[in-house]
């Protein structure tokens, strides 16, 4: 796997958890620096190990600082942008209602396109348990989207 692809996956993972671009960039960089310090060679990366480092750094960040709130003002948007924003809000609200573990599963599987083997190793669960939890999370997400009137 290409180093840029791996870096992007770790960045998306961290950004999903932190929701702040500059802090996510810093944590992603720190993840790779710690990996290199411990392993010595960046080309022998293991996704499981990188996700573990990133998760621990995110936990440290949450302990350190409370997240900032978003600004209330939004500039005028076109109808197409409004539809897209409405869709994003519906998905984010439905995902936010899921337990953190389910959110992490959906991110790793559907956003980062990680294999079941990589995810099960990173989370320390069997593939069977992963598939069961993933199916449950997908069903809950689908139900959450339907409950708020979004049916695509």
pLDDT the model gives residue 111 = 86
The residues spanned by each domain of the chain are 3-64, 81-147
CATH of domain 81-147: 1.10.10.10
**What is the share, in percent, of the chain residues with pLDDT greater than 90?**
30
Query: How large is the average pLDDT for residues 56-68?
Result: 80
Distances in Å between the alpha carbon of 135 and those of 8, 18, 105, 141? Answer: 25, 25, 10, 10
Q: What is the pLDDT of residues 123-132, one digit of tens each?
A: 888 999 999 9
pLDDT tens-place string over residues 88-125:
888 888 888 899 889 888 988 988 888 898 888 888 88
Residues 6+ apart with CB under 8 A from 44: none
Q: What tokens does 137 get?
A: 């999370």
Mean pLDDT of the chain: 84
For 44-55, how does the pLDDT look when each residue is reduced to its tens digit (9 = 90+)?
Answer: 667 888 999 999
């Amino acid at each position: 796997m290409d180093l840029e692809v791996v870096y992007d996956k770790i960045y998306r993972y961290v950004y999903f958890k932190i929701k702040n671009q500059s802090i996510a960039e810093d944590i992603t960089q720190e993840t790779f620096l710690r990996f290199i310090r411990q392993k010595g060679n960046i080309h022998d990366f293991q996704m499981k190990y990188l996700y573990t480092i990133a998760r621990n750094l995110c936990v440290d960040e949450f302990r350190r600082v409370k997240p900032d709130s978003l600004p209330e003002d939004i500039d005028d948007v076109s109808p197409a942008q409004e539809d897209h924003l409405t869709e994003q809000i519906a998905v984010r609200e439905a995902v936010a209602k899921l337990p953190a573990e389910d959110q992490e599963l959906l991110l790793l599987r559907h956003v980062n396109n990680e294999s079941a083997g990589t995810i099960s190793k990173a989370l320390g669960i069997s593939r069977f348990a992963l598939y069961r939890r993933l199916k449950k999370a997908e069903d809950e997400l689908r139900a959450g989207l339907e409950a708020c009137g979004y049916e695509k």
